[in-house]
Structure 1
Amino acid sequence: MTSSETAPVAIISRNDDSRLGTPLLVFLHGYGSNEQDLMGLSRYLPEEFTYLAVRAPLQAGPGFSWFPLTQEIDYSVESVGQSVEALWGLLEPLSKQHSSITLLGFSQGMAMATSLARYQRDAITAVVGLSGFAVEPRDLEIFDDEKVQQNPIPLFWGRDVADPVITRDKIEYTLKWVSQHTELTSETYPQIGHSVSMEELEDVDAFLKKVVLGRD
């Protein structure tokens, strides 16, 4: 496992003056990708948001990852916890400058988004998870699932039920977790595989407008 020695790399859609007081949406990319991957989705989402795309801290081939994966697509919960705490270290100062924080994660990025919501429930307004999963905590102590259960997080979960990447055990755990800890909006998109479709982005746009911006 090789960690980046530099400060977190991120790109943001507005300058400091124009973003103060706006809702913040944070893009969390998937395994082997980078901060550029999801930023283009912002053109299909509400213009009221400031969009921040963060690069994961670990090198993974030509891209980056939030935590290492084994050949069985398994993970170390210790490494998950380290990345969650590091991500919050980046976002905590920004939380004082924005009206809300929403997390949008694709694949492994959904694991990070739901994990951060379980770590800092009071700071996160909503989560969008695309083609991903929630982490089974095992002995990870930083998650406060009891607080999340008492105050369920609004979650949009979009996926193809035949996703060829996310393993069945992770889907089964995620189904159980979201049923107990979220205000769930669940949509499935046949034949998109492990990707994002325009129909899905339209549904995400509607979710953000309703849940975060308070529009009908």
Structure 2
Amino acid sequence: MTSSETAPVAIISRNDDSRLGTPLLVFLHGYGSNEQDLMGLSRYLPEEFTYLSVRAPLQAGPGFSWFPLTQEIDYSIESVGQSVETLWELLEPLSKQHSSITLLGFSQGMAMATSLARYQRDAIAAVVGLSGFAVEPRDLEIFDDEKVLQNPIPLFWGRDLADPVITRDKIEYTLKWVSQYTELTSETYPQIGHSVSMEELEDVDAFLKKVVLGRE
């Protein structure tokens, strides 16, 4: 761990025996934010879940990031792998205490959510990605896309087609990847920019109830 990294920090919606055996949903925030950012979304999502929100390990301005970004939203593939492995070290013990693990990532958090699912496919029930992208692996050996191909990930991907932050090359790769490796639910929301809307949260709620909780 470098001096710019912090120990894992997380907040959880219930931290007593009532969470044991419940489905766990893990919030992964965007670049420059923190673990408080997404926790409030839980009030709009199914009450059956226990909600865990994790702080990214690297300092980024007033907040934190999962891996360094340039202004062009390029990234170090090595640092992606390190953050994915660190996140799984935190979640792996919890996976034994909950009925399932679902990941919800916003922006860079979607990159982390899809990356962790590609690293530990058998452990992840579903992924929700909001205004984000999937990482192009290049030489990242921890991704097991062959396993994902055999068992595609249920993925909800919500975004504004005119998102001003996620660059076109990231979207083009993500479009290609999700079409091959996921059971995709894709929705677009005009005028939300790089944010989350109530309509989108209603769609995420329905997705979670259907895909993870088995309700129609």
8 Å Cα contact 1:2-1:59 kept in structure 2: no
8 Å Cα contact 1:66-1:109 kept in structure 2: yes
Equivalent-residue separation in structure 2 for 1:136 and 1:16 (angstroms): 39
TM (norm. structure 1) is: 0.98
8 Å Cα contact 1:8-1:54 kept in structure 2: yes
Equivalent-residue separation in structure 2 for 1:3 and 1:87 (angstroms): 18
Q: Which moved more, 1:31-40 or 1:64-73?
A: 64-73
Q: Partner of 1:37: helix, strand, or coil?
A: coil
Q: Partner of 1:36: helix, strand, or coil?
A: coil
User: What CA RMSD, in Å, does the superposition of the two structures yield over aligned residues?
Assistant: 1.1
Q: Are the structure 2 counterparts of residues 32 and 5 from structure 1 closer, same or farther at C-alpha, using a change threshold of 3 Å?
A: closer
Structure 2 stretches of 5 or more lacking a match? none
> How far is 1:2 from its partner?
5.9
1:92 matched to 2:100? no
> How far is 1:162 from its partner?
0.2
> How far is 1:16 from its partner?
2.6
8 Å Cα contact 1:3-1:59 kept in structure 2: no
8 Å Cα contact 1:104-1:110 kept in structure 2: yes
Task: Note the alpha carbon deviations across 1:19-39, whole angstroms, 9 max, x for none.
Answer: 000000000000000000000
Q: Partner of 2:37: helix, strand, or coil?
A: helix
Task: Note the alpha carbon deviations across 1:129-178, whole angstroms, 9 max, x for none.
Answer: 00000000001100000100110000000000000000000000000000
> How far is 1:7 from its partner?
2.8
Alignment: residue pair count: 216
Equivalent-residue separation in structure 2 for 1:100 and 1:113 (angstroms): 15
Q: Are the structure 2 counterparts of residues 188 and 3 from structure 1 closer, same or farther at C-alpha, using a change threshold of 3 Å?
A: farther
Task: Note the alpha carbon deviations across 1:51-75, whole angstroms, 9 max, x for none.
Answer: 0000000000000000000121100
Q: Are the structure 2 counterparts of residues 3 and 145 from structure 1 closer, same or farther at C-alpha, using a change threshold of 3 Å?
A: farther
**What percent of counterpart residues are identical?**
96
Q: Are the structure 2 counterparts of residues 42 and 141 from structure 1 closer, same or farther at C-alpha, using a change threshold of 3 Å?
A: same
Equivalent-residue separation in structure 2 for 1:17 and 1:74 (angstroms): 42
Equivalent-residue separation in structure 1 for 2:96 and 2:144 (angstroms): 22
Q: Are the structure 2 counterparts of residues 77 and 186 from structure 1 closer, same or farther at C-alpha, using a change threshold of 3 Å?
A: same
8 Å Cα contact 2:100-2:124 kept in structure 1: yes
Equivalent-residue separation in structure 2 for 1:61 and 1:101 (angstroms): 30
**4+ residue runs over 6 A deviation:** none
Equivalent-residue separation in structure 1 for 2:70 and 2:6 (angstroms): 25
8 Å Cα contact 1:28-1:103 kept in structure 2: yes
